[in-house]
């Protein structure tokens, strides 16, 4: 039996994912896929390969809690008609690019499945760890029902393929139970539901409430029976409040949230995952990249409220996750979410969101999002101080000379 590889990072300035500052003179020993030791004193490890960081920052790999690996472009109605084989090639590019930006974990919010997760695990795709919801559950006419007004039920079959890719229509308690069980059977790490209108669907206004109390509670129960949870797309205070009251743990977007609803989220221990960069990029590039006109109209409703939602969430003490929700070519702006949040939040708050807070949201507390003994060795080396300058995390990973996932170098530009 070969012994497990050991790598010793010496002389790091450490951001451990939990604290609020960098700590000088730290040493981190990686053994196999996990971190074995973290110390402010030199670590002796005779067999380890030593990498002297000379005061560069060492931090946990980033986590994006709202990602769409299969979203090759902004028009979901069109994408549902495209061959899976084609979308998978896009997914590979999108995942590999995210890893190069320092995202060692992403949570897919609809579209990715076990095949894609298997391909990452097998190393066929050099991508982030992939948590996936499978297909999002939507009611007829809901945010993952991408049929236009004129379409009949048969038009949703896309019969050249084996069913829809991003969302599955399920109405009524027995149907949503079956749909949730189907995704859980295929290894979904959480269940995604559509609980309000959205930008990229053709027929539902933003203010539309989706799914009844009975349906949401039934889905939450199915997820909990698998020891996991529900993430819900929701914009308005009313939509968010219903979800939280019925047991949903992760609220996605929440652009229009108000103070009372934010307090309800905090009291219930629910997470909110803003995805502000996608609205900014849809406004800039949506039309040219093919977001349908109806989506551009709906975008106006949620775009303006984005940054204010951060102030409301912060004031209420909500656990704020980090997500991006970017579609297709716009994913290259994934790391711009940091700069948008910096208008309201401190760099340490933002980096904790993208590391330890997101890890807790993913039920991976202690495994991911921290530099600590026992955690997976998902590590970034940063040229400079990201707590002083978050822009170091932009530029497609240019300021990240080392990216490690599970103890394996995914990028190494240091001797």
Helix (H) or strand (E) holding 265: helix 259-268
Question: Residue 298, interface with Zn ion (CB under 5 A)?
Answer: no
The token duo for 394 is: 């932009």
Q: What's the closest the beta carbon of residue 413 comes to Zn ion, in angstroms?
A: 33
Q: What's the closest the beta carbon of residue 102 comes to Zn ion, in angstroms?
A: 21
**106-129 exposure pattern, b = at least 16 Cβ within 10 A, e = fewer:** bbbbbbbbbebbebbeeeebbbbb
Q: What's the closest the beta carbon of residue 369 comes to Zn ion, in angstroms?
A: 21
Give residues 153-182 in contact with Zn ion (rule: CB under 5 A).
none
φ/ψ of 103, rounded to 5, equals: -85, 105
Stretch that binds Zn ion, among 25-33, 207-215, 234-242, 320-328 (CB under 5 A): 320-328
Residues facing residue 379 across a β-bridge: 60, 404
Of the candidates 85, 242, 210, 64, the one whose C-alpha atom is nearest the C-alpha of residue 144 is 210
Eight-state DSSP code of residue 354? I
CA distance 286 to 75: 9
Q: Which is nearer to Zn ion, 276 or 381 (CB)?
A: 276
CA distance 65 to 252: 9
Stretch that binds Zn ion, among 98-106, 107-115, 298-306, 355-363 (CB under 5 A): 107-115
Question: Cα–Cα–Cα angle for 316, 320, 323, nearest 5°?
Answer: 145
Compute CA distances 375 → 12, 189, 335, 344, 394, whole Å.
Answer: 17, 19, 24, 30, 25
Count, residues near Zn ion per rule CB under 5 A: 3
Length of the chain: 415
Give the distance from CA 350 to its chain's centroid.
14
Question: Residue 31, interface with Zn ion (CB under 5 A)?
Answer: no
Question: Residue 337, interface with Zn ion (CB under 5 A)?
Answer: no
Q: What share of the chain is helix, strand, coil (3-state, %, to 5)?
A: 35, 20, 40
Question: Residue 325, interface with Zn ion (CB under 5 A)?
Answer: yes
Q: What's the closest the beta carbon of residue 69 comes to Zn ion, in angstroms?
A: 11
Q: Which is nearer to Zn ion, 102 or 110 (CB)?
A: 110
Q: Which is nearer to Zn ion, 147 or 405 (CB)?
A: 147
229: Cβ contacts below 8 Å, ≥ 6 apart: 190, 191, 220, 223, 248, 249, 250, 363
Q: Which is nearer to Zn ion, 71 or 318 (CB)?
A: 71
Q: What's the closest the beta carbon of residue 67 comes to Zn ion, in angstroms?
A: 8
Contact 318, 262 (CB under 8 A): yes
Give residues 256-295 in contact with Zn ion (rule: CB under 5 A).
none
Stretch that binds Zn ion, among 39-47, 103-111, 264-272, 313-321 (CB under 5 A): 103-111
Q: Which is nearer to Zn ion, 233 or 341 (CB)?
A: 233
Stretch that binds Zn ion, among 35-43, 73-81, 233-241, 401-409 (CB under 5 A): 233-241
CA distance 292 to 28: 49
Q: What's the closest the beta carbon of residue 327 comes to Zn ion, in angstroms?
A: 8
3-state secondary structure of 111: coil
Q: What's the closest the beta carbon of residue 194 comes to Zn ion, in angstroms?
A: 7
Question: Residue 233, interface with Zn ion (CB under 5 A)?
Answer: yes
Q: Which is nearer to Zn ion, 170 or 371 (CB)?
A: 170
Q: Which is nearer to Zn ion, 57 or 190 (CB)?
A: 190
Residue nearest to Zn ion (CB): 233
Q: What's the closest the beta carbon of residue 198 comes to Zn ion, in angstroms?
A: 5
| Residue selected from 7, 109, 368, 402 as contacting Zn ion according to rule CB under 5 A | 109
Which residue reads 């949506």 in tokens? 286
Question: Residue 47's CB: how many other CB atoms inside 10 A?
Answer: 10
Q: Which is nearer to Zn ion, 57 or 236 (CB)?
A: 236
Stretch that binds Zn ion, among 154-162, 227-235, 284-292, 366-374 (CB under 5 A): 227-235
Binding site for Zn ion (CB under 5 A): 109, 233, 325
């Amino acid at each position: 039996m070969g012994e497990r590889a050991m790598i010793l990072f010496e002389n790091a300035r450490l951001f451990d994912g939990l604290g609020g500052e960098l700590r000088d003179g730290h040493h981190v020993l990686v053994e196999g896929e996990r971190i074995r030791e973290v110390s402010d004193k030199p670590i002796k490890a005779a067999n380890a390969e030593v990498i002297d960081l000379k005061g560069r920052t060492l931090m946990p790999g980033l986590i994006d809690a709202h990602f769409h690996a299969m979203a090759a472009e902004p028009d979901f109605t069109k994408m549902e008609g495209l061959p899976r084989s084609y979308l998978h090639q896009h997914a590979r590019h999108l995942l590999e690019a995210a890893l190069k930006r320092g995202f060692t974990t992403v949570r897919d919010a609809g579209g990715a499945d076990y095949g894609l997760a298997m391909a990452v695990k097998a190393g066929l795709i050099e991508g982030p760890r992939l948590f996936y919801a499978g297909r999002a559950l939507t009611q007829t006419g809901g945010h993952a029902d991408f049929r236009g007004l004129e379409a009949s039920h048969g038009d949703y079959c896309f019969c050249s393929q084996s069913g829809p890719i991003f969302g599955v229509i399920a109405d009524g308690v027995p149907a949503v139970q079956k749909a949730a069980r189907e995704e859980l059977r295929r290894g979904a790490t959480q269940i995604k539901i559509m609980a309000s209108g959205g930008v990229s669907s053709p027929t539902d206004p933003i203010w539309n409430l989706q799914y009844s109390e009975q349906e949401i509670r039934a889905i939450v129960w199915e997820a909990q029976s698998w020891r996991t949870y529900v993430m819900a797309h929701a914009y308005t205070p009313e939509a968010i409040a219903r979800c939280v009251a019925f047991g949903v743990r992760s609220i996605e977007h929440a652009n229009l949230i108000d103070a009372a609803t934010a307090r309800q989220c905090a009291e219930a221990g629910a997470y909110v995952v803003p995805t502000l960069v996608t609205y900014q990029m849809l406004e800039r590039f949506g039309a040219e990249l093919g977001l349908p006109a109806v989506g551009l109209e709906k975008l106006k409703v949620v775009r303006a409220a984005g940054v204010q939602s951060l102030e409301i969430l912060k004031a209420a003490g909500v656990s704020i996750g980090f997500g991006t929700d970017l579609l297709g070519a716009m994913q290259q702006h994934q790391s711009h979410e940091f700069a948008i949040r910096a208008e309201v939040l401190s760099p340490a708050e933002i980096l904790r969101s993208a590391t330890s807070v997101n890890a807790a949201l993913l039920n991976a507390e202690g495994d991911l999002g921290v530099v600590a003994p026992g955690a997976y060795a998902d590590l970034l080396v940063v040229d400079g101080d990201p707590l002083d300058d978050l822009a170091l995390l932009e530029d497609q990973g240019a300021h990240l000379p080392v990216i490690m996932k599970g103890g394996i170098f995914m990028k190494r530009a240091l001797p």
